[in-house]
Amino acid sequence: MSFVNKDDMPKRDTAQRRHAMLAYVNEHGETSVDTLARHFATSEVTVRKDLATLEKSGLLLRRFGGAVPLPSEILTDANTPLSPRKIAIARAASARIRAHNRIIIDSGTTTSAMIPELGGREGLVVMTNALSVANALRDVEPEPAILMTGGTWDPHSESFQGQVAEQVLRFYDFDQLFIGADGIDLARGTTTYNELLGLSRVMAEVAREVVVLAESDKIGRRIPNLELPWERVHTLITDEGLDVDAHRRLETQGIAVIRAAVNE
């Protein structure tokens, strides 16, 4: 005869509920704590604990009063080939960098695509908050001086964030910041799914030029979290898919717009 350890039953039930809760959010999109509590016949306190655990595991994102599925940008496989648009934007961005420049490269697939284009520049100093960027920079010839922010690891952005990282940045000044965006709000500025906004804003504070890299399909995409207002941005590099009206509206915000030619 086999016996079930009663102490294991609550753990199993909790794991099953969290798995089902994740599936529910992925199917229905943004879902409130109240809805989840009613659907799973449990308390809102329990739901919040479950959502916190799922977010910590990098499986969803919490929002005020509920949760949303991970956006497709975060779910993209790191081994997926870069699109021609990302490559074109990255090349246009790297062309703005001169020897001996002091630059910041934020985490992200488009900013990371700049790295193979950085060769041949003497005396580069590169600060980053992403381990993947730092590791890739070691293959650049000549190898730049690499600085890391340190801080608290954020599994969603796969980068360091927090007050320690912000304090480190404030000890330096930089010529340029290269940063991506999850969305471009034509009226407000760059937007992001990530709720950790402090480091991006400090990066912009310590750089003389802020260069945003974003594919044209992100322009007009509204996401609640405003990352950088337009008064903090100098240049937007996008692709030829940018329409005339959006281009005009961006220029009225005082933004220099570069449309990178895409070679398919």
Report the mean per-residue pLDDT for the chain: 86
Quote the tokens at residue 170. Answer: 């404030």
User: So what's the pLDDT on residue 4?
Assistant: 39
Which whole number is the average pLDDT over 244-260? 95
**pLDDT at position 262:** 84
Asked if residue 177 has pLDDT above 90, the reply is yes
How many whole angstroms separate alpha carbon 210 and alpha carbon 12?
49
User: Computed over its alpha carbons, how large is the radius of gyration of the chain?
Assistant: 21
CA 32, CA 21: separation in Å to the nearest integer? 11
- Which architecture does CATH list for 84-260? 3-Layer(aba) Sandwich (3.40)
Q: Are 236 and 255 in contact (CB under 8 A)?
A: yes
What does the pLDDT look like over 71-84, one tens digit per residue?
Answer: 655 555 455 567 88
Residue 124 pLDDT > 90 = yes
Does the pLDDT value for residue 245 go beyond 60? yes
pLDDT at 62 over 90: no
Please name the residues in contact with 248: beta carbons below 8 A apart, sequence gap of 6 or more: none
> In the predicted model, what is the mean pLDDT of residues 25-47?
92
| 3-state DSSP assignment of residue 111 | helix
Residue ranges of the domains in the chain? 12-70, 84-260
Distance in angstroms (rounded) separating the CA atoms of residues 81 and 138: 21
User: What confidence tier does 195 reach under pLDDT thresholds 50, 70, 90?
Assistant: confident
Do residues 31 and 51 lie in contact, with contact meaning Cβ atoms separated by under 8 Å?
Answer: no
Calculate what percentage of the chain has a pLDDT beyond 90.
58
Topology of the domain comprising 12-70: Arc Repressor Mutant, subunit A (1.10.10)
Strand spans (E) along the chain: 31-32, 60-63, 66-69, 102-105, 125-128, 145-148, 152-154, 159-161, 174-180, 183-185, 189-192, 207-213, 225-229, 235-239, 256-260
| Residue 202: burial class (beta carbons within 10 Å; 0-12, 13-18, 19+) | buried
